[in-house]
């Protein structure tokens, strides 16, 4: 429903992410957590600018559940996961480092089962099996 620009963004964004992941291995990067911190801060500033240009505004009050979700994403989605991704990118092959893209949907499904009472069907189990096999094949590849 987003139109042509949204469809283009869905296609270009993963290609840009992959390009940046491969290119970052060839660039001199600061040590420690400075690299992911700089990337996240830059992305946040850019997203705020886009939000301002599009006229988006913050609601007057934020529901507690939304705030808890936000804190979870900041801690685990950004600080933990993105830092781990940066570490893997520096110390492993890009194909292995980007295996998070396979694992994240499985984790999201499991969190839905635990916290939202969602149910799993045979198709879900088959998809999770395929994900695990794909990650194992990536891990066994040339190092």
Q: How many domains does the chain have?
A: 2
Residue 76 lies in a domain: yes
Task: Let me know whether 105 and 138 are in one domain.
Answer: yes
Residue 45 lies in a domain: no
Distances (CA, A) of 62 to 1, 53, 58, 78, 84: 26, 22, 9, 21, 30
Residue 4 lies in a domain: no
Q: What residue numbers bound the domain in which 108 lies?
A: 93-142
pLDDT digits (tens, 9 = 90+) for 87-127: 887 788 777 777 777 777 778 888 888 988 888 899 888 98
Identify the H or E element spanning 15. helix 3-24
Q: What is the pTM of this model?
A: 0.54
């Amino acid at each position: 429903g987003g139109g042509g620009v949204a469809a283009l963004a869905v296609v270009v964004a993963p290609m840009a992410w992959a390009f940046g992941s491969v290119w970052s291995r060839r660039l001199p990067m600061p040590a420690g957590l400075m690299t992911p911190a700089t990337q996240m801060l830059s992305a946040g500033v850019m997203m705020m600018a886009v939000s301002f240009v599009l006229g988006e505004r913050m609601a007057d009050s934020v529901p507690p559940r939304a705030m808890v979700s936000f804190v979870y994403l900041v801690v685990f989605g950004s600080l933990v996961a993105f830092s781990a991704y940066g570490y893997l990118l520096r110390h492993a092959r890009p194909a292995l480092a980007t295996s998070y893209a396979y694992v994240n949907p499985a984790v999201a499904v499991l969190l839905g089962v635990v916290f939202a009472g969602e149910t799993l069907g045979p198709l879900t189990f088959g998809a999770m099996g395929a994900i695990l096999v794909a990650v194992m094949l990536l891990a066994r590849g040339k190092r």
